[in-house]
């Protein structure tokens, strides 16, 4: 009887355990369906195991934060990071490339020839990138004469590029402009400093510099154009309250620019672009159409001394100074956005036929 009682007690306990497990699994599945993974794990795991898992999780998170901080600090210091999975990760000094490369005159001349070849192919941004990287990595290994030659070549190439990122790459340039700006009252440093602020999207500071230049030369077309476009850009910011007044002031300067330039094609295009920028598309269309009815003569392109024999300047199609293509493309954008897709396609076909076929 004692043996039979023990067996009966064992089967009852086993049945309770099975029922308990089935209940836990059912509750766990319901929690997983609701997206409560942590509570589901708590149902299946004993409290002791949960405490150990929580401690291990916090330890791993702490190690991950420390590892990420070390990695960021190492990369910021210019050092190489060995591994993201190593326990004893220590940054190792990175050997600067081209350390001994340019000490050889032939290697240095190779860099010069490469930059000139890129400039002859009109890949000005790539050539400037090579020069900037070479000066940065080998600043202490090349002579002052070589540095000056690279800087002069970079200035010549930068004259031809329209990429604004190279205008503020060197930290000495803004300092030099600020020095010239404070030494004496002169319009060119004001304009250049305003351009620097414009590149950085600091339109309020740019407008201040342009207005100072306007006070000295109110009939200068460039100062009127710069003030007008900067006020338009400033009006589209989020912080300005009197946006309509700012737009009206910007357009006033642009119309003054139109008067000074005797209703030139360039001035009308800039007014059309300003209206287009502030979504006054009806007025923008009228001025784009005026641009298309105005003819502009081709003007000779200025050349630097090292570009006297550069034949690429002689291969321009007649009418390269005209803004007909730009005005047509912007008109096409307005028509396309308004739903007149056929009209947009027609105006593009017309400019293609007139420019490329005739």
Decide: 43 and 30 in contact? Cβ < 8 Å.
Answer: no
- What mean pLDDT, rounded, does the chain reach? 75
Provide the pLDDT for residue 23: 52
Determine phi and psi for 48, rounding to 5 degrees. Answer: -65, -45
Reply yes or no on whether the pLDDT at 84 is more than 50: no
| 343 compared with 85, residue with greater pLDDT | 343
Alpha carbons 330 and 336: distance in angstroms, whole number: 10
Find the range with the poorest average confidence among 93-97, 133-137, 301-305. 93-97
Decide: 135 and 150 in contact? Cβ < 8 Å.
Answer: yes
pLDDT digits (tens, 9 = 90+) for 125-151: 888 888 888 887 766 677 888 888 888
pLDDT digits (tens, 9 = 90+) for 175-197: 777 777 777 788 888 898 898 88
In Å, what is the CA distance from 16 to each residue of 2, 23, 100, 275?
Answer: 21, 10, 79, 81
Q: What sign has the CA pseudo-torsion 10, 12, 13, 19?
A: positive
Q: pLDDT band at 216, cuts 50/70/90?
A: very high
Residue partners of 217: CB distance under 8 A and separation at least 6: 187, 223
Alpha carbons 272 and 327: distance in angstroms, whole number: 9
What's the whole-number mean pLDDT along residues 64-70? Answer: 76
Residue 273 burial (C-beta neighbours within 10 Å; 0-12, 13-18, 19+): buried
């Amino acid at each position: 009887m004692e043996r039979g009682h023990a067996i009966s007690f064992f089967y009852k306990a086993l049945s309770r355990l099975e029922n308990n497990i089935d209940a836990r699994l059912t509750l766990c599945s319901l929690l997983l369906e609701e997206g409560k993974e942590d509570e589901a794990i708590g149902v299946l795991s004993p409290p002791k195991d949960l405490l150990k898992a929580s401690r291990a999780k916090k330890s791993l998170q702490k190690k991950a934060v420390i590892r990420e901080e070390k990695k960021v600090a190492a990369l910021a210091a210019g050092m190489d990071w060995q591994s993201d999975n190593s326990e004893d990760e220590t940054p190792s000094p990175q050997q600067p490339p081209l350390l001994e490369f340019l000490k050889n005159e032939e290697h240095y001349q190779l860099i010069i020839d490469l930059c000139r070849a890129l400039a002859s192919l009109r890949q000005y941004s790539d050539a400037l990138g090579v020069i900037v990287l070479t000066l940065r990595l080998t600043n202490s290994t090349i002579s002052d004469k070589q540095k000056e030659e690279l800087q002069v070549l970079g200035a010549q190439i930068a004259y031809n590029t329209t990429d604004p990122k190279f205008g503020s790459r060197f930290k000495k340039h803004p300092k030099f402009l600020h020095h010239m700006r404070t030494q004496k009252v002169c319009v060119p440093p004001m304009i250049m400093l305003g351009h620097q602020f414009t590149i950085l999207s600091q339109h309020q500071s740019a407008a201040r510099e342009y207005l100072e230049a306007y006070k000295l030369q109110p009939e200068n077309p460039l100062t009127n154009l710069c003030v007008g476009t900067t006020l338009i850009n400033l009006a589209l910011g989020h912080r300005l309250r009197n946006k309509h007044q700012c737009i009206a002031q910007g357009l006033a300067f642009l119309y003054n620019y139109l008067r000074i330039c005797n209703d030139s094609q360039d001035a009308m295009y800039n007014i059309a672009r300003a209206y287009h920028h502030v979504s006054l598309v009806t007025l923008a269309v009228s001025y784009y159409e005026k641009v298309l009815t105005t003819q502009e003569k081709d003007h000779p392109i200025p050349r630097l001394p090292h570009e006297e024999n550069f034949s690429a300047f002689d291969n321009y199609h007649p009418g390269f100074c005209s803004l007909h293509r730009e005005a047509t493309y912007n008109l096409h954008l307005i028509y396309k956005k308004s739903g007149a897709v056929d009209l947009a396609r027609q105006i593009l076909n017309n400019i293609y036929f007139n420019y490329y076929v005739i």
